[in-house]
Chains A and B, each alone.
Chain A
């Protein structure tokens, strides 16, 4: 794609093509159609391992759609159709011998709208470890639940009422519960769709801290509408507009010296 060429012209080749820990996710010519409507146009994007990749762009540009491609959640939308190639650790996620259940266990997701299960807080977090048999004993499971809630910055608020319904929490608490639920199974890739849109600054800071920490071992893709957040947490940023990946590169470069006029306009708040 045109803009991609431009990016690699300017960015030194070493930095663009040899990420520190290799490339975790490779997307090539990904198109998504919702019925007749095309939502993504030939998106090709590399996501380096053990780093945070931020997806930014105006509302409706296809960020969530792209995110859902990576764990094949578009399969659950009957009218959605995905073409193109996506590889995680070199394996094509659309290949017939890949088990989608396995894929999703490895690629966790936090949704744009918090969707805790109508179960207790404890059961919400224990859900993944239970179905994947990750904890051998009750005490081990207790440990997983506690550490996941701690890392999501929710433990102090809920430690005395783990038996209460997860749906009885506030919106921001629910979102952190969903984050705890997602990290409880230690997925290799974590997809976060605006995880902080319902959080106050303190909770947001905690989640950003968590992302920094998770980055040590995991690959994180985050959708955000906050330029500051993208700048703070991510190493690389991709800018989408109208279903097209306009520009991608190291975060500092996108924010200080974007090569595309549209990126410039968007990050300076001229549209979107």
Chain B
């Protein structure tokens, strides 16, 4: 019914627009218009669109609610209090009304399904009729309001503004909602595990006994090994991607011939487009054995899943971020600054070092920060290449684990929703979120400081 309704809306809106526009075009022959005919058309279209959409958005939930309540009442007036049974019965009623019920329905169920079906038919009928009435009212209203001097343009602009405002609100509210739900679950987690143990504990093994009579571990939730693991991999990745990405960007922006640039830029973009799963198995199947073999040749003891392999591949993943963003900011440095430096008798590398890079510093820092956020948030490569073992170590040749990997491990598979183990994923998510937020704030501060100095 939604599809039907909205095709109707679309047709009416188009017709309304064309009608409003041609009427205005006609009127323009005798009298100058305040707004262009297109705005008259848009005004008519909006007068139809807004009430019809509002009717649907408000009417459908109400109609559904009434339909469901009445159907359940018809089944058993006492049922409203019992959440679990209510849900189950409702599913049965809907299935029966749609003639997909398997088995022999009871008398009460059949009655309820009849009520449901008839109320549903009625609400569809009402909403469609209501929509038509609203559309007609909208047309009537807009035709009465429209005149040559009517400021349709200003009205349409206002609607545009409010629509954009609504979109911004949705974005902000979604963010707030996600953060709130994570915070809420985190608080529940801290009912079970003390924040001190969580933040400063040196041991991570989230297995808890599922039944009280089961023996074994009670789980320990110290995140320090995850912090070191995440940092270790991120540092390795940045040691790779930082210099290579930045130098590549400098070469591309300052030295490369247009021909080389036209070839190299798309190649880098392809690197950025490789799914991280693919990079992950490159790390696990190609690089990790290589590192292990060369480590052993040197007499080192290398785990088959090592932080080094994951870090190197992660570095490869973020090279394109660093290089293409840095390339952009370096290109944005005005040529006049370079000319000023060359005219002083500076060489190319002096000019880059002393004028171009300082001028681009803020942008380069934010490119690095973005790359670090990517690295910290990356999961797939680490899952495949660095392992799950929560070792507390700074040795890049050992297996480590990270926040994202643990979150993924905890939430994969069937979970009990209020065990400490499951809830710990939210706490991890919260810490991760806090970490990237801090990173972004620092980056913004740096960028702002240097912008004040450099624009």
Chain A interfacial positions (CB closer than 8 Å to B): 71, 73, 76, 101-106, 108-109, 111, 113, 115-119, 127-128, 131-132, 165, 167, 178, 181-182, 185
Q: Which residues of B contact A73 (CB under 8 A)?
A: 339, 342-343
Tell me whether A76 and B340 are in contact (CB under 8 A): no
Since A115-B340, A127-B346 are in contact, a sample of 13 more A-B pairs with Cβ atoms closer than 8 Å, ordered by chain A residue number, is: A76-B335, A76-B342, A103-B345, A104-B342, A104-B343, A105-B345, A106-B345, A115-B336, A117-B337, A118-B455, A131-B344, A131-B346, A185-B344
Closest to A106 in B: B345
Q: Which residues of B contact A115 (CB under 8 A)?
A: 334, 336-337, 339-340
Tell me whether B345 and A185 are in contact (CB under 8 A): yes
Q: Which residues of A contact B336 (CB under 8 A)?
A: 111, 113, 115
Q: Which residues of A contact B455 (CB under 8 A)?
A: 118, 167
Q: Which residues of B contact A182 (CB under 8 A)?
A: 343-344
22 A-B pairs whose Cβ atoms sit less than 8 Å apart in the complex: A73-B343, A76-B335, A76-B339, A101-B345, A101-B347, A105-B344, A108-B343, A108-B344, A109-B343, A111-B343, A115-B334, A115-B339, A118-B337, A118-B355, A118-B359, A127-B341, A127-B344, A127-B354, A165-B454, A181-B344, A182-B344, A185-B345
Interface: B217 (CB within 8 A): no
Interface: B358 (CB within 8 A): yes
Tell me whether B453 and A102 are in contact (CB under 8 A): no
Q: Which residues of A contact B355 (CB under 8 A)?
A: 117-118
Q: Which residues of A contact B340 (CB under 8 A)?
A: 111, 115-117, 178, 181
Tell me whether B339 and A131 are in contact (CB under 8 A): no
Bound form: Cα–Cα A108–B358 in Å? 23
Q: How far apart are B454's CB and chain A's nearest CB, in angstroms? A: 4
Interface: B157 (CB within 8 A): no
Most buried by B among A113, A131, A167: A131
Interface: B338 (CB within 8 A): yes
Main secondary structure of the interface of B (DSSP, over half): helix
Closest to A127 in B: B344
Task: Count B-side interface residues using an 8 Å CB cutoff.
Answer: 22
Closest to A105 in B: B345
Q: How far apart are B332's CB and chain A's nearest CB, in angstroms? A: 12
Q: How far apart are A197's CB and chain B's nearest CB, in angstroms? A: 15
Q: How far apart are B188's CB and chain A's nearest CB, in angstroms? A: 51
Q: Which residues of A contact B344 (CB under 8 A)?
A: 104-105, 108, 127-128, 131, 181-182, 185
Q: How far apart are B319's CB and chain A's nearest CB, in angstroms? A: 27
Residue among A105, A108, A131, A165 making CB contact with B453, cutoff 8 Å:
A165
Tell me whether B347 and A118 are in contact (CB under 8 A): no
Bound form: Cα–Cα A90–B413 in Å? 84
Residue among A71, A102, A132, A167 making CB contact with B343, cutoff 8 Å:
A71
Q: Which residues of B contact A128 (CB under 8 A)?
A: 344-345
Q: Which residues of B contact A113 (CB under 8 A)?
A: 336
Residue among B337, B338, B346 making CB contact with A101, cutoff 8 Å:
B346
Q: How far apart are A91's CB and chain B's nearest CB, in angstroms? A: 16
Closest to B335 in A: A76
Q: How far apart are A259's CB and chain B's nearest CB, in angstroms? A: 34
Top 10 nearest A-B pairs (CB, nearest first) are A105-B345, A118-B454, A115-B336, A109-B343, A104-B345, A115-B340, A128-B344, A118-B359, A101-B345, A165-B453
Closest to B455 in A: A167
Question: Which residues between 352 and 399 of chain B lie within 8 Å of chain A, taking CB atoms?
Answer: 354-355, 358-359
Q: Which residues of B contact A111 (CB under 8 A)?
A: 336, 339-340, 343
Bound form: Cα–Cα A108–B345 in Å? 8
Interface: B28 (CB within 8 A): no
Interface: B350 (CB within 8 A): yes
Most buried by B among A106, A117, A128, A181: A117
